[in-house]
């Protein structure tokens, strides 16, 4: 059922564009009721976002052996998802809806952002285990350092993002995460102090 809804959404976006897409069209062509769609997706924007940009499962997080390498692999994954033509018009629509739809905010945090935070958690846990980080850091801040910067470049400032910029963003995020870990887990006597 989900596959049929999402494939129909993709097909209709190709045919009529996002702005002219309606949940009624998707329901009719997929052979389901609108209630079936709304049980799965809070809005047209969420349905289109899932269909074209970001399902709830990210690919496994690469273990490159370093914090920077892992963040770069994740940044490249995010870039592929976020720079796709569909994402360039769907993500701003979703962001606009997030500003006025509290239910959608909760769903977005509990699914898509939770999956991305889990990826950051794995990367940070490995970096701590390798001794690259003094301890864990706030996942929301780690996420903002990398994905937030990439999103701002793509959707707000419309910069021409390429692999060199993605590499630089990953390096900046690695440096920021390292500084946060040092700040939150070290004191002058060398004892860890989680905050």
Domains (ranges, CATH) in the chain? 2-40 (1.10.10.60), 53-185 (1.10.357.10)
Element (H, E) at 181: helix 163-185
- pLDDT for 13: 87
- pLDDT for 64: 97
- pLDDT for 194: 44
Quick one: DSSP state of residue 75?
H
pTM here?
A: 0.80
Burial of 78 (0-12, 13-18, 19+ CB in 10 A): buried
In the chain, the percentage of residues whose pLDDT exceeds 70 is: 93
- pLDDT for 192: 43
- In the chain the first and final C-alpha atoms are separated, in Å, by 45
For 152-164, the DSSP string reads IIIIIS-----HH
- pLDDT for 187: 60
Weakly modelled stretches of the chain, pLDDT under 50: 190-195
């Amino acid at each position: 059922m989900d596959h049929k809804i999402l494939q129909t959404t993709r097909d209709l976006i190709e045919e009529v564009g996002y702005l002219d897409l309606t949940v009624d069209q998707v329901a009719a062509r997929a052979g389901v009721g609108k209630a079936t769609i709304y049980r799965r997706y809070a809005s047209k924007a969420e349905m289109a976002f899932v269909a074209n940009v970001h399902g709830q499962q990210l690919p496994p997080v690469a273990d490159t052996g370093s914090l920077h390498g892992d963040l770069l692999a994740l940044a490249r994954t995010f870039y592929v998802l976020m720079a796709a033509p569909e994402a360039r018009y769907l993500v701003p629509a979703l962001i606009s809806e997030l500003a006025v739809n509290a239910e959608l905010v909760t769903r977005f945090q509990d699914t898509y952002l939770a999956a991305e935070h889990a990826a950051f958690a794995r990367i940070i846990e490995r970096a701590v285990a390798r001794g690259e980080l003094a301890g864990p850091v706030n996942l929301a801040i780690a996420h903002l350092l990398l994905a937030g910067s990439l999103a701002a470049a793509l959707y707000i400032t419309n910069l021409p993002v390429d692999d060199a910029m993605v590499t630089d963003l990953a390096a900046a995020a690695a440096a920021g995460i390292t500084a946060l870990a040092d700040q939150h887990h070290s004191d002058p006597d060398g004892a860890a102090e989680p905050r």
